[in-house]
Chain A
Amino acid sequence: MTSQNIESFVNQRYQHGFVTDIATESLPPGLDEGVVRAISARKDEPEFMLEWRLQAYRQWLDMKEPKWPHLHYKPVKFDEISYYAAPKSDADRPKSLDEVDPKLLETYEKLGIPLHERAKLAGVAVDAVFDSVSVATTFKEKLFEVGVIFCSFSEAVREHPELIRKYLGSVVPRRDNFYAALNSAVFSDGSFVYIPKGVRCPMELSTYFRINAANTGQFERTLIIADEGSHVSYLEGCTAPMRDENQLHAAVVELIALKDAEIKYSTVQNWYPGDENGVGGIFNFVTKRGDCRGDNSKISWTQVETGSAITWKYPSCLLRGDNSVGAFYSVAVVNNMQQADTGTKMIHIGKNTRSTIVSKGISAGRAQNTYRGLVKVMPQAHGARNHTQCDSLLIGKQCGAHTFPYMEIKNSSAKIEHEATTSKISADQLFYCRQRGLSEEDAVNMIVNGFCREVFKELPMEFAVEAQALLNVSLEGAIG
């Protein structure tokens, strides 16, 4: 096995490349105050929400796209994007799965997500976001019994405006960055979760996102609040149909953990990555941030990133409460022409705060994978601890791995550790596995899964299995 062979192992068509034929009710391309007002009006939003969007829009106009990422792509033409699309049935939304457009359900089937069965079997409540409007929410009643609110963001704006007013933008301010500001102006929908004091959420909460309308930016907005002493595990997974145009995706996720609360947020991201020549694919600019606002609170991010042409994403933790704990476990796979610039920020503010970063980057084809991380210890953050482990695995000779770890330590009691490795799947490893009877492909999968094991074990069981399968699909043809 030579490394040249290794390079040609990466050519596999995107499995979820199909388009559901549902008429969408889109706004014409372009963005101005009228569009912002139209989005807000369609959602019957209260005045405060419109005002918030408009302020975000005005702030966005003054902002510039960040140029610092290690990413190369043609500039996004923001005036050619349509900022809202909803399935036709918007006005008359289904009350149960029986009322859901069968074509939608079919789409889930193709993705291997038989929603109803899956939800029942796995005990998972699914708030399915198809394009921009939630079409099905299950297990709501069971959650309602314990006081958990799990609904679409739009519904939360109408039903729980006091929570939205209090928490929206309190972790990611409107003008935090260019994409966050854009999202704040035009966000379409997303999920809202509130776990009341002392409640341990009785099931994993799960949302499947899916982009379906051509040329429509998707702007998800997620807000999760874990009140004092509560606990929640949230799963986010996405797949997208094959498209030739680049699609912009700029999501914002805000997590708030109050005193003694814990939020575990897991993502499997599989947006369309573009073809082997880098044509098409999703541009994914995401702002995810968790605020450990109370003492002893805990937030952990686990992500498996296999999709998108461009990924710009740094799920971060603000460790404000004393003894609060932040964690970031990440597997980022890039193949063909994909580019990822991803990592995390751990901001230590409270006393005795701890954070863990485990990042596993896998590059194949001609792809470029960048880890970018910041560990910041503020002057008042006595006794802060951080451990960072950052490993890169290269498959073939034409891909790249880059690491930019930043540290700003302003308290001398901090203990910060950083470990980094870069390795290649060696011909010796492959031969060893093949001599034991494994095919080359199985050998690669086994080695890659081994490399990612520390991260996979952080995922909920059924999600870990999915993630592993997804990884295998993403790297199919990476060696040959």
Chain B
Amino acid sequence: MLEINNLKCRIGDTEILRGLSLTVNAGEVHAIMGPNGSGKSTLALVIAGHEDYVVTGGDVTYNGKNLLDLDPEERAREGIFLGFQYPVEIPGVSNASLLKAAVNAKRKHQGLGEVDAFEFLKLAREKMAALNMDPKFLNRGVNEGFSGGEKKRNEILQMAMLEPSLAILDETDSGLDIDALKVVAKGINALRAPDRAIVLVTHYQRLLDYVEPDFVHVLSEGRIVRSGDKTLALELEDKGYDWVREAASA
């Protein structure tokens, strides 16, 4: 599904990704771990098409297409979803209107008719019930005055509504208390499917206790320095990132 080959990119004059390669197939859950500044969030943003990041080398194919040729909205409509580390507030724009516009943008792209308000509300209420979210949420401004946990849950709701083929969740677990973490994990697990891939960008092992990854990759200085199965995450938790850094430079 996603093939990243020797990807290099910079923001301003700072090189961040320095030859990163990664293959993600449908049905898989990958966890990307690594210390602060290793390039985890950059990877997520580059896949989503953030224009501040300039790709200087390598290529990225998504379902056979050159992903780097596509605008961010085209990538989204093709099924790429990014759960943001810091979801922005959009005052006055209701959650419902953003969600409905998003769902319909994708449906239009797929050649499907737009959902009407009634269908939309029905669907949204279903998904929200599964995430223990108050339906009133829909009428609030997008992330406006939300707590950290509410923002993250809102990202999961958007993901559930959009049913992406490739979901990248950037530190979705950070700032969550244990109950919220369980709800979010439940939301992610509900989306596991043979035709869908999930990439979890995370700092800690904690989330992986609830969402079991098929693969774990460790990022350091813009490269994947180690890959393994879920036991790698436990090893990391135990030994810390210095261990990886030493291994990388050795």
Contacts and interface: CB of A to CB of B under 8 A. Distances in A.
Interface of A: 1-2, 426-429, 431-440, 442, 446-447, 449-454
Given A446-B97, A450-B141, A435 B91 contact: no
A304 to B, nearest CB: 15
Contacts of A450: 90-94, 97, 141-142
A170 B160 CA distance: 61
B77 interface: yes
B92 A434 contact: no
Interface stretch (B100-108, B206-214, B216-224): B100-108
B235 interface: no
Given A439-B73, A446-B98, A432 B87 contact: yes
B98 A437 contact: no
Contacts of A428: 88
A429 B88 contact: yes
Q: What interface size band does chain B fall in?
A: 20 to 34
Contacts of B97: 446, 450
A434 B93 contact: no
A432 B90 contact: yes
Interface in B29-64: 48-52
B229 interface: no
B71 interface: yes
Interface of B: 48-52, 71-73, 75-77, 81-82, 84, 87-88, 90-94, 97-98, 101-102, 105-106, 109, 141-142, 158, 162
Contact of B98 (A1, A436, A439, A452): A436
Contacts of B90: 429, 432-433, 446-447, 450
B60 to A, nearest CB: 16
A11 to B, nearest CB: 20
B101 A442 contact: yes
Contacts of A2: 51-52
Nearest to B76: A437
Nearest to B101: A438
B241 to A, nearest CB: 28
Nearest to A2: B51
Contacts of A434: 49, 71-73, 76
Nearest to A454: B92
A454 B141 CA distance: 12
A436 B107 CA distance: 12
Closest 3 CB pairs of A and B: A450-B92, A450-B93, A437-B105
Contacts of B106: 437
Given A2-B51, A446-B93, A436 B88 contact: no
B76 A435 contact: yes
9 contacts: A1-B51, A429-B90, A431-B51, A432-B90, A433-B98, A435-B75, A437-B101, A450-B97, A454-B92
Given A436-B98, A450-B141, A431 B92 contact: no
B49 to A, nearest CB: 8
A452 B98 CA distance: 16
Contacts of B158: 436
Please indicate which of the listed interface residues A431, A436, A437 has the most CB atoms of chain B within 10 Å of its own CB: A437
Nearest to B107: A437
A451 B141 CA distance: 10
A436 B90 CA distance: 13
A1 B52 CA distance: 7
A437 B92 contact: no
Contacts of A446: 90, 93, 97-98, 101
Nearest to B106: A437
B72 A449 contact: no
Nearest to A432: B88
Nearest to A433: B98
Contacts of B102: 436-438
A437 B158 CA distance: 12
Nearest to A428: B88
Contacts of B72: 431, 434-435
B71 A447 contact: no
Given A434-B71, A434-B72, A437-B76, A447 B84 contact: no
